[in-house]
């Protein structure tokens, strides 16, 4: 994401030297919250966009989700706010309510140390009066969808006369969804650029309509474009796995169990995540170390040395700390969090396949990041092959193979006379030789059974439903103000399921149920991971699944009950993974 591409490097170059957040001119309260969230260095778009934004310049940023664009405009916007002044000073327009909530949450996080900062997400589906009351109490930043913002402007509950900054986020999406005239109308209600209003426009693509808006409403904007030139990409095997955020750790451990691994470098975006993933792997028995910017140089060097010497198998690192690591043993790079741009991706995967060896790179992609994946493919000019998350059966198979190998080795290398005599005695007693061997194998593996214990809730492997409808459970109901339109809207917008395909909806006091064609089930559960419904984190799964499936193979969804069929008034609260079947020992619940 540089304006002028560097000359082609002899090998994958490290990401462009990134300034620290301090150097960008951000105020202390913002820097403090960035330390807390664990960002080590600005992403390229942040490094390029923040200084001109802080200087008051208008900006066009061609960037999509995953590049760090939210913090790019968010930090500059927060710095422009005068908390003592109780008026709306910044407005962010987003195409969807989910994005509005996400951006508002991000602003809230970055603005944690700004005294009395109030950020309000406003979107359709919520009560206008309630929003109006909150606006009346005083709000500094409003983040919302164009339709609802217009409603408030017309009612007079939102005034833009003190606005200093307007951000159009995902402008091309707003265009696609038919909001562009609304956006223009809203811009015309704000003070003109000549009165000091600053405007930033972010868009993944730049269709002519968006350029026209920029020409009309932005003043001498600085333009930041994506790097369009493919860089030299190391020739290594590249794959990706589609996972929901909460499944990443499980996906990583399954990879570690099923891939022919020598040494692994795992990349996360923040130092907090690097420390956390490393701790969790350690708790699962792996030999692992973290590598991040909170460690001093000698500590970092020690970690790299231990990796090189084979004393640790896995290093979980941030981009900054892993810059330039050169360890031939690295057989795999796992992009646990998607890199923020092409340069970072190329640098990361270039840590493997060194010294003429084969290397593998695996990228975890959450449903929202699919677009970033396409960009990576487009600009590397290489396919990143889809791979499915290794199943429990894959893990069991691999463990069996490894165990057999250990047995063969032991037979070849060990003096077994004493044990042989013992086995012969048992056989003379009439026991079957194979059964004796199986019992011995069982004892040898008691601490680490060949089969994988899977907790259904965290497994993320959902029945591959094909025909008919499935009934899904949602963890919000009448009490939370859920209406059928909210559910249809959420599933249609977030999961891309055509509204007309959504079946009957039942809303109870605390829960709701919706029928969807079984073929969309996986897609819905994946894409809606992390979504919210009426402002609450949404939990969505096959109705009754947690209770019904403590053990045994996944079930095919059963035929749906007839519309309006009798159900218990209030289904019991969903039972989490701590429900039945989580006892210790080899009898732990599992399903292939």
Q: Count residues near ligand AMP (CB under 6 A).
A: 13
Please, which residue, 67 or 360, has the CB nearer to ligand AMP?
Answer: 67
Record the tokens describing residue 549, joined without a space. Answer: 């499936």
Retrieve residue 191's tokens: 């003070």
- Nearest residue to 43 (alpha-carbon basis) of 346, 338, 341, 268: 341
Structure tokens given for 204 = 């993944």
Using H for helix, E for strand and C for coil, what is the string for 314-368? EEEECCCCCCCCCCCCEEEEEECCCCCCHHHHHHHHCCCCCCCCCCEEEEEECHH
| HSE-up of residue 21 (Cα within 13 Å, Cβ side) | 22
- Binding to ligand AMP, residues 68-87 (CB under 6 A): 68-71
DSSP code string of 504-520: -EEE-SS-EEEEEEGGG
Which of these segments, 41-49, 209-217, 403-411, 445-453, binds ligand AMP (CB under 6 A)? Answer: 41-49
- Report the C-alpha dihedral over residues 571, 577, 580, 581, rounded to 10 degrees: 150
Least spacing, CB of residue 317 vs ligand AMP, in Å = 13
Residue in 26, 33, 62, 67 binding ligand AMP, rule: CB under 6 A: 67
Q: Is 339 in the site for ligand AMP (CB under 6 A)?
A: no
Q: Based on the shown chain and the rule CB under 6 A, indicate whether residue 202 belongs to the binding site for ligand AMP.
A: no
Question: Is residue 61 involved in binding ligand AMP (CB under 6 A)?
Answer: no
Q: Give the CB-side neighbour count of residue 96, counting CA atoms within 13 A.
A: 19
By CB under 6 A, what part of segment 419-478 binds ligand AMP?
none
Closer residue to ligand AMP, CB minimum distance, 269 or 541: 269
Question: Comparing C-alpha atoms, which of 581, 498, 514 is closest to residue 546?
Answer: 581
Q: How far is the CB of 44 from ligand AMP (least distance, A)?
A: 10
Query: Does residue 66 bind ligand AMP (CB under 6 A)?
Result: yes
Question: Counting contacts by CB under 6 A, is residue 317 touching ligand AMP?
Answer: no
Pairing of strands 59-62, 222-224: parallel
Residue 128, both tokens: 């206008």
User: Contact region for ligand AMP (CB under 6 A) — 40-48, 429-437, 449-457, 539-547?
Assistant: 40-48
Q: 42 vs 557, which CB is nearer to ligand AMP?
A: 42
Length of the chain: 592
Q: Interface residues for ligand AMP in 243-282 (CB under 6 A)?
A: 269-270
- Least gap, CB of 103 to ligand AMP (angstroms): 8
CB of 253 to ligand AMP, least distance (A): 22
| Phi, psi at 286, each rounded to 5° | -90, 155
Ramachandran area for residue 478 (φ above 0: left; ψ -120 to 50: alpha; else beta) = alpha
By C-beta, is 42 or 234 nearer to ligand AMP? 42
Q: Does residue number 65 form part of the binding site for ligand AMP (CB under 6 A)? A: yes
Regarding 39 and contact with ligand AMP (CB under 6 A), the answer is: yes
Candidates 66-74, 111-119, 138-146, 571-579; binding stretch for ligand AMP (CB under 6 A): 66-74
What is the smallest separation between the CB atom of 265 and ligand AMP, expressed in angstroms?
A: 17
Give 68 or 350: the residue with its C-beta nearer to ligand AMP.
Answer: 68
Helix (H) or strand (E) holding 62: strand 59-62
Select 232 or 270, whichever has its Cβ closest to ligand AMP.
Answer: 270
- Shortest gap between Cβ of 379 and ligand AMP (angstroms)? 17
Tokens at residue 355, please?
């010294």
Write down the H helix ranges in 460-533. 484-495, 521-527
Does 43 participate in binding ligand AMP (rule CB under 6 A)?
Answer: yes
Dihedral pair phi/psi, residue 193, rounded to 5°: -55, -35
Closer by beta carbon to ligand AMP, 150 or else 344: 344
Q: What is the contact surface with ligand AMP in residues (CB under 6 A)? A: 39, 42-43, 46, 65-71, 269-270
């Amino acid at each position: 994401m540089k304006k002028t591409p560097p000359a082609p490097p002899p090998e994958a170059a490290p990401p462009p030297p990134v300034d620290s957040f301090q150097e960008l001119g951000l105020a202390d309260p913002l820097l403090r919250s960035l330390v807390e969230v664990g960002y080590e260095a600005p992403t390229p778009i942040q490094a390029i966009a923040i200084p001109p934004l802080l200087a008051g310049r208008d900006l066009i940023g061609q960037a999509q989700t995953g590049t760090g664009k939210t913090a790019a405009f968010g930090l500059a916007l927060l710095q422009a706010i005068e908390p003592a002044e109780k008026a709306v000073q910044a407005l962010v327009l987003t195409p969807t309510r989910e994005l509005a909530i996400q951006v508002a949450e991000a602003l809230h996080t970055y603005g944690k140390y700004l005294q009395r900062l109030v950020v309000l997400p406003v979107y359709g589906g919520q009560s206008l009066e309630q929003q109006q009351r909150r606006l009346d109490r005083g709000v500094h930043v409003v983040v919302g969808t164009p339709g609802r913002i217009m409603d408030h402007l017309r009612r007079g509950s939102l005034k833009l006369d003190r606005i200093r900054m307007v951000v159009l986020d995902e402008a091309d999406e707003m265009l696609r969804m038919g909001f562009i005239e609304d956006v223009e109308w809203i811009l015309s209600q704000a003070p003109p650029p000549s009165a000091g209003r600053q405007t930033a426009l972010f868009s993944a693509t730049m269709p002519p309509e968006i350029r026209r808006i920029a020409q009309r409403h932005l003043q001498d904007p600085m333009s930041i474009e994506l790097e369009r030139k493919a860089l030299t990409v190391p020739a290594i095997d590249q794959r990706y796995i589609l996972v929901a955020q909460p499944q990443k750790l499980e996906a990583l451990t399954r990879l570690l169990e099923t891939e022919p691994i020598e040494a692994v470098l795992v990349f996360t975006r923040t130092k907090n995540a690097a420390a956390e993933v490393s701790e969790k792997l350690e708790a699962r028995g792996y030999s692992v170390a973290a590598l991040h910017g909170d460690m001093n140089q000698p500590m970092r060097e020690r970690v790299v040395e231990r990796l090189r010497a084979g004393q640790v198998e896995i290093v979980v690192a941030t981009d900054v700390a892993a810059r330039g690591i050169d360890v031939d043993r690295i057989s795999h790079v796992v992009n646990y969090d998607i890199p923020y741009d092409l340069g970072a991706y190329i640098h990361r995967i270039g840590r493997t396949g060194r010294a003429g060896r084969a290397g593998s790179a695996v990228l975890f992609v959450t449903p929202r990041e699919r677009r970033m994946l396409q960009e990576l493919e487009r600009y590397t000019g290489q396919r990143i092959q889809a791979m499915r998350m290794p199943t429990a059966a894959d893990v069991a198979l691999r463990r069996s193979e490894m165990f057999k190998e250990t047995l063969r080795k032991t037979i070849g290398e060990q003096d077994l006379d004493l044990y042989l005599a013992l086995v012969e005695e048992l056989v003379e007693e009439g026991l079957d030789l194979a059964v004796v061997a199986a019992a011995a194998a069982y004892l040898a593996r008691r601490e680490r059974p060949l089969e994988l214990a899977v907790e259904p809730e965290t497994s993320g492997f959902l029945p591959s439903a094909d025909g008919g409808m499935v009934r899904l459970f949602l963890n919000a109901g009448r009490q939370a103000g859920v209406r059928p339109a909210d559910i249809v809207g959420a599933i249609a917008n977030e999961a891309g399921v055509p509204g007309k395909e959504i079946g009957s909806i039942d809303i109870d006091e605390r829960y709701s149920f919706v029928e969807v064609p079984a073929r969309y089930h996986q897609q819905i559960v994946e894409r809606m991971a992390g979504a919210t419904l009426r402002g609450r984190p949404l939990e969505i799964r096959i109705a009754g699944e947690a209770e019904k499936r403590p053990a045994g193979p996944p079930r095919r969804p059963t035929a749906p009950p007839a519309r309006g069929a009798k159900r218990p008034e209030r289904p019991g609260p969903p039972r989490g993974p701590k429900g039945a079947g989580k006892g210790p020992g080899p009898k732990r619940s599992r399903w292939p």
